[in-house]
Structure 1
Amino acid sequence: MNANATPDREAPRFRAALDALDGMLAGLDPSAEAGDRRFLGCVFFENEPHERRYADHLVLAPGLDAAGPDLDVRVRALLDHGAAGVIVKRPESGLPRLPSDLASALLLLEREADWADVAQSLRALGSADARLVTGGIRQGDLFALANTLASLSNGAVSLVDIAGRIIGYSTHVGQPIDALRRSTTLALHEGHHPRVDAQFQQLAASAAALHFPGKQSRYGRVALPVRAAGELLGTVWAIQVDPSGADETRQFLDSVEPLVAHHMLRARETAQADERRSTDLIRALLEDATNRRAAAAQLDLDPGSAHTVICFRLRELGDANPVLRAQQLLHQVSTTAKGQFAWAHCALLDGVAVALLRSSDTAHTRLFADRITRIAEGGAVAGIGRIAQNQSLIPRSYRDAASISRIIVTRNATARGTQATRSTAAAGQVTRDDDASDVAEFSEMHSDLGLAHVGEILHDSELLEGDLVERILAHDREHETRLAETLLSVLDHQGSVRRAALDLHVHQNTVRYRLNSIRAELGIDMDRPSARLWIWLRLTTEVASGGLMFAPEPRSPASGAAPSNDSRRTNIRAISPMG
């Protein structure tokens, strides 16, 4: 233990940790000597002892089996590397007998306790600002802080950072709110960026809370600028329905500015580390079979509960800063998930916002996904994986969700390309296809996922070289024709030339001429069912994977007019993939 610790910053004792987590944490050794043990902080056990510095810290060991036969060996190894003590979850069965020196260093955490909450509480014990942590508000918990401020000010409260993002808001039922409050909390950001908002600018120049009177159907607001060492951290906005109480609300908010600043600083300091840790743990849970159990324990994942994975992707990545948009999407996903689900963890994996939810309620998860895709700036899509009834099935739910979201992005991009040829394109406008869905579940995409898997197999096959589809695509590239697109449309419409012509926005005779070219010039016999099935599979999987994109058709006369490029009529019989 650090012998140079000053009296006012004296390292906390075990008994202080037991008091702070009363009912959730207990010592194996109830003696006074055990309660007098001190610790400098806490750290999670993730690897072998020699790979971490545990000196004088409490080691939180979610992956350590307290009922295991090697408990004494593992605990002693940690103590030999300087650990002040070890915290494990209380086992359902009895603990093995331990020597007194090990028993005094072992603390038992109740099974329903959350590891992250325990870590926050233990860290708060050693903080110089621990006196600022009020009952019921964990350090940096801005939603709990907003609820407390809303109760004390009798008005709904929102906490906003300097970029205009809503980082916490109250959820009390019955407090009056207006349309502005609904829209901003739905989107989790203000309607205007603070740099162009007059009220934000006025508030930033003020040293105290200000009252902004209401206008028409909009309630008034009392707002507080929150600073630390002269730096503006963010703002607090409290709805003020009764203007006569504005002075009292202003005085209250001014009095709690140090508390709010403390929580905002703590949230900012831990956000990046928490996000990185959460990302590492979720990646391990989904992709690393070796460390999956340890990651699940640190995430406090209940192995007996059902979970669902949802993957959110940006609809388009063509803007100047896709990284910023992905971070904004993650903020919306994680913040909304915390408000709608009792347990949720979110992370950004390879540009995809992944939400792991403790829920088997398909209607609830669908509403959550719909909400995110509506509010995401620039647009997003969501794939909902199968419900994982146990821990081992969570990776499968993730693979489902990731594949579904990727298919939706590709499918919607293709739909927008087709949309460019429709009536709005004639006026120089391109609109989003109303039939293109931004959210899909596994049950809706079972066939698409199967085709995607077939496409992966085909891409590894040597049979592709020089096959029928390669001959068609090579002809299209060399002669700037559209045989592949036309043939796929005919196959998709069960051999109907009329429906294919409507889909492609060309004359029926143009479709017939292209089909005749496939037969006469390329020597492909479309009367064979196997040929039709193979071509349809190849073209469909190429389009689904994004490997084949069709540009919009040049404008041509409507169906029924004289064909623009060929007047020959052919008698190609109706064809479909299966005959």
Structure 2
Amino acid sequence: MVSVRSIVDRVGPTLLHAVSIPESSPAVADVVIAEPGAGTQVAAGDLVLGVAVADVDGAATLIRHSAERRAAAVLLKPPFTARPAVRRCAVTAGIGLVEVRGATAWAQLVWLLRTVLDAAIDSTDDKDGEDRDDTGERGSGDLFRLADAVASVVDAPVTIEDTNSRVLAYSARQDLTDPARVSTIMGRRIPDDVLAKFRSRGVFRELSRGRQTIFVPAQRDGTLPRLIVPIRMGGELLGSMWAVVAGPVPDERAAAFADTAPVVALHLLRRRAHADARRRASADLLRALLEGKVGPRKAIAELELTDEPHRVVVIGTPGGDGPDDEGLRLALLERISQGIGRRPVVTELGGLLYAIVPEGSGPGSWAGLRAALAQGPEPGRAGSPNLAAGSAVPLVELARSRKEAEEALDLLRAGLLPGHVGSYDEVWTALVLHRAATAAGAAHVAELGPLERLRTHDRENRTEYVATLYEWLRFPGDPRAAARALRIHPNTFRYRMRRLLDLARLDLDDPDVRLALITQLVTLRWS
């Protein structure tokens, strides 16, 4: 049983967008193309592609015809999917309506839909006839064979890379290349120094502009020429193909190389659909584990976790639910998903990202994740996401680690801790003060005694006597350190202390008075 929603999700928003899908929509069985006239044979469960639809009336007729035969959904391109009459017709007929992005080729979409449908049926039946490489990616064997086929077209060794310059597949004959390509194959990614050279020559700018082919001449350091072809689908850049050539390539051969891009694009979309499906399954299972709905034994088996202690890591973006925050969460999700086992152990709950990472120092551990994110552009600047980890615990106690991580995150978000990263066992002093302040705040302790007089004076006269008293108590007998904390001159600090003592008449020689004031001021600062 494969639903319309599942097919749309697997293909992804690059090509498809669900306009309306009724809850009672039948399972998808096949893909058919609606030909002009009444010759279209539509059966129950079909995805009907409105290839020949020319107007709103034609779209409505196809929708009604498909609904009568219990088809699963009708797929149309803009502008028809935006027309209210077409949308009303689909809702009234009780059939799904899916928008196909305008730049998508129908023939490619048919191939991709049938591939995704076959894969979905296979996974439902718990079958897996596809090749995997050493990373466990589905379809990788096909991609390597495709790289060999593309290499024969251009008569040069080829790599297929994603938009982050990671090598997804490569052809044979890589021994005939240069050290830069060898390093790329060994590291499964273009090295940073080589990447910088190509970037300085404007290669990636040209890729983003949609050039059909890009030729990069030989470089002084011995790097051989490259012929590069962008891989696009539906207007989105999915990756690129890089051929190491001896020199300028004849126009006919370069064009043939470029003509292979749509086929590679279909394979990349298929690969991404499988990866997205696995990521969603992992995320759902992790969500259930964090909520206590499944046991650790199932998590160990399906999330490929070990039985060593793990931490729950929670990440919060500054605003929470805005489009910028959503984009930042997705970017972080992609970064966190790399290097934590074979499958990403990451999910989203209530606008926060959660990950389970093992204790230790490897690339997938808390220390490794912390170091990796610290190297990126987000941490350390204004508006950075906050990253907090709970204690390292056995898998059966992950609920406790989650609560600890959330408590530490609250302190980071409130600005009560320096920086944007912290772990529960590192911030115990802040946690003690915060919990004590929370309890004391509920008892209204800050309203007792002469402190309220200083607070009122500060509000009415824009003075900072309460802050001055707080730093005096934090640095007893060290006015210079207290002045530095306030960023004022020590003489200014001493003057403020004399003035506030005149106002409040506090006996700071009494240790109980000092303890009471500390309790009140901590309550104000940390609650």
TM norm structure 2: 0.57
1:249-269 Cα offsets, whole Å, 9 max, x none, are 986785474254233156258
User: In structure 2, do the counterparts of structure 1 residues 227 and 400 end up closer, same or farther at CA, with 3 Å as the change threshold?
Assistant: same
- Counterpart contact for 2:470–2:518, Cα < 8 Å: yes
Q: 1:225 pairs with 226, 230, 240, which one?
A: 230
Structure 1 partner of 2:192? 179
- Counterpart contact for 1:311–1:353, Cα < 8 Å: yes
1:493-532 Cα offsets, whole Å, 9 max, x none, are 2341122123323232322232233333123333333333
C-alpha distance in structure 1 between counterparts of 2:215 and 2:129, whole Å = 26
Equivalence map 1:16-35=2 (5 Å): none
Counterpart AA for 1:310: V
Counterpart AA for 1:385: G
User: In structure 2, do the counterparts of structure 1 residues 440 and 182 end up closer, same or farther at CA, with 3 Å as the change threshold?
Assistant: farther
C-alpha distance in structure 1 between counterparts of 2:143 and 2:517, whole Å = 59
Matched, 1:515 2:493: no
C-alpha distance in structure 2 between counterparts of 1:495 and 1:443, whole Å = 31
User: In structure 2, do the counterparts of structure 1 residues 235 and 472 end up closer, same or farther at CA, with 3 Å as the change threshold?
Assistant: same
User: In structure 2, do the counterparts of structure 1 residues 177 and 146 end up closer, same or farther at CA, with 3 Å as the change threshold?
Assistant: farther
Matched, 1:263 2:268: yes
1:47-99 Cα offsets, whole Å, 9 max, x none, are xxxxxxxxxxxxxxxxxxxxxxxxxxxxxxxxxxxxxxxxxxxxxxxxxxxxx
C-alpha distance in structure 2 between counterparts of 1:233 and 1:444, whole Å = 43
Matched, 1:328 2:331: yes
Structure 2 partner of 1:368? 369
Report how far residue 357 of structure 1 moved.
1.9
C-alpha distance in structure 2 between counterparts of 1:281 and 1:393, whole Å = 16
User: In structure 2, do the counterparts of structure 1 residues 342 and 264 end up closer, same or farther at CA, with 3 Å as the change threshold?
Assistant: closer
C-alpha distance in structure 2 between counterparts of 1:366 and 1:120, whole Å = 40
Amino-acid identity (%):
19
User: In structure 2, do the counterparts of structure 1 residues 365 and 137 end up closer, same or farther at CA, with 3 Å as the change threshold?
Assistant: closer
SS in 1 for 2:186: coil
User: In structure 2, do the counterparts of structure 1 residues 149 and 453 end up closer, same or farther at CA, with 3 Å as the change threshold?
Assistant: farther
Q: 1:491 pairs with 468, 473, 494, which one?
A: 473
User: In structure 2, do the counterparts of structure 1 residues 355 and 142 end up closer, same or farther at CA, with 3 Å as the change threshold?
Assistant: farther
C-alpha distance in structure 1 between counterparts of 2:458 and 2:369, whole Å = 44
SS in 1 for 2:240: strand
Report how far residue 462 of structure 1 moved.
4.1
Structure 2 partner of 1:198? 206
C-alpha distance in structure 1 between counterparts of 2:424 and 2:448, whole Å = 35
C-alpha distance in structure 1 between counterparts of 2:489 and 2:148, whole Å = 68
User: In structure 2, do the counterparts of structure 1 residues 157 and 227 end up closer, same or farther at CA, with 3 Å as the change threshold?
Assistant: closer
- Counterpart contact for 1:312–1:354, Cα < 8 Å: yes
- Counterpart contact for 1:384–1:440, Cα < 8 Å: yes
- Counterpart contact for 2:161–2:168, Cα < 8 Å: yes
Structure 2 partner of 1:403? 407
C-alpha distance in structure 2 between counterparts of 1:307 and 1:120, whole Å = 37
SS in 2 for 1:305: coil
1:338-360 Cα offsets, whole Å, 9 max, x none, are x3545541123344332212444
C-alpha distance in structure 1 between counterparts of 2:362 and 2:187, whole Å = 28
User: In structure 2, do the counterparts of structure 1 residues 282 and 125 end up closer, same or farther at CA, with 3 Å as the change threshold?
Assistant: closer
User: In structure 2, do the counterparts of structure 1 residues 385 and 283 end up closer, same or farther at CA, with 3 Å as the change threshold?
Assistant: same
Structure 2 partner of 1:430? none
User: In structure 2, do the counterparts of structure 1 residues 226 and 176 end up closer, same or farther at CA, with 3 Å as the change threshold?
Assistant: closer
C-alpha distance in structure 2 between counterparts of 1:393 and 1:191, whole Å = 50
- Counterpart contact for 2:229–2:257, Cα < 8 Å: no
SS in 1 for 2:327: helix
Report how far residue 159 of structure 1 moved.
0.9
- Counterpart contact for 1:498–1:508, Cα < 8 Å: yes
Structure 2 partner of 1:48? none
Counterpart AA for 1:502: R
Equivalence map 1:305-316=2 (5 Å): 305-314=308-317
User: In structure 2, do the counterparts of structure 1 residues 504 and 375 end up closer, same or farther at CA, with 3 Å as the change threshold?
Assistant: same
- Counterpart contact for 1:226–1:257, Cα < 8 Å: yes
C-alpha distance in structure 1 between counterparts of 2:235 and 2:130, whole Å = 21
- Counterpart contact for 2:314–2:409, Cα < 8 Å: yes
Matched, 1:237 2:240: yes
Counterpart AA for 2:307: G
Structure 2 partner of 1:52? none
Report how far residue 201 of structure 1 moved.
0.9
User: In structure 2, do the counterparts of structure 1 residues 391 and 233 end up closer, same or farther at CA, with 3 Å as the change threshold?
Assistant: same
1:160-183 Cα offsets, whole Å, 9 max, x none, are 2xxxx6787578426784436667
SS in 1 for 2:346: strand
Equivalence map 1:349-360=2 (5 Å): 349-360=349-360
C-alpha distance in structure 2 between counterparts of 1:543 and 1:141, whole Å = 53
- Counterpart contact for 1:140–1:264, Cα < 8 Å: no
User: In structure 2, do the counterparts of structure 1 residues 244 and 463 end up closer, same or farther at CA, with 3 Å as the change threshold?
Assistant: same
Counterpart AA for 1:225: P
Count of residues in Structure 1 that have an aligned counterpart in Structure 2: 386
- Counterpart contact for 2:165–2:190, Cα < 8 Å: no
Structure 1 partner of 2:103? none
Report how far residue 450 of structure 1 moved.
2.4
Report how far residue 487 of structure 1 moved.
1.9
C-alpha distance in structure 2 between counterparts of 1:452 and 1:485, whole Å = 18
C-alpha distance in structure 2 between counterparts of 1:192 and 1:381, whole Å = 36
Counterpart AA for 1:444: E
Matched, 1:382 2:387: yes
- Counterpart contact for 2:230–2:261, Cα < 8 Å: no
User: In structure 2, do the counterparts of structure 1 residues 140 and 362 end up closer, same or farther at CA, with 3 Å as the change threshold?
Assistant: closer
- Counterpart contact for 1:142–1:169, Cα < 8 Å: no
C-alpha distance in structure 2 between counterparts of 1:266 and 1:531, whole Å = 68
C-alpha distance in structure 2 between counterparts of 1:531 and 1:514, whole Å = 19
User: In structure 2, do the counterparts of structure 1 residues 380 and 370 end up closer, same or farther at CA, with 3 Å as the change threshold?
Assistant: farther
Counterpart AA for 2:466: A
Structure 2 partner of 1:527? 509
Report how far residue 408 of structure 1 moved.
3.8
Equivalence map 1:66-145=2 (5 Å): 123=120, 125=122, 133-136=130-133
- Counterpart contact for 1:213–1:243, Cα < 8 Å: no
- Counterpart contact for 1:359–1:365, Cα < 8 Å: yes
Q: For the aligned residues, what is the CA RMSD?
A: 5.0
Q: 1:473 pairs with 445, 450, 455, which one?
A: 455
5+ residue gaps in structure 2?
3-26, 30-115, 152-156, 170-183
SS in 2 for 1:527: coil
User: In structure 2, do the counterparts of structure 1 residues 123 and 316 end up closer, same or farther at CA, with 3 Å as the change threshold?
Assistant: closer
Counterpart AA for 2:229: L
- Counterpart contact for 2:229–2:240, Cα < 8 Å: yes
SS in 1 for 2:345: strand
1:190-241 Cα offsets, whole Å, 9 max, x none, are 99999x93332143xx3xx54444666687654333345xx23424334555
Structure 2 partner of 1:300? 303
- Counterpart contact for 1:346–1:354, Cα < 8 Å: yes
SS in 1 for 2:269: helix
User: In structure 2, do the counterparts of structure 1 residues 279 and 199 end up closer, same or farther at CA, with 3 Å as the change threshold?
Assistant: closer
TM norm structure 1: 0.53
C-alpha distance in structure 1 between counterparts of 2:196 and 2:403, whole Å = 33
Report how far residue 539 of structure 1 moved.
3.4
C-alpha distance in structure 1 between counterparts of 2:158 and 2:362, whole Å = 34
SS in 2 for 1:312: strand
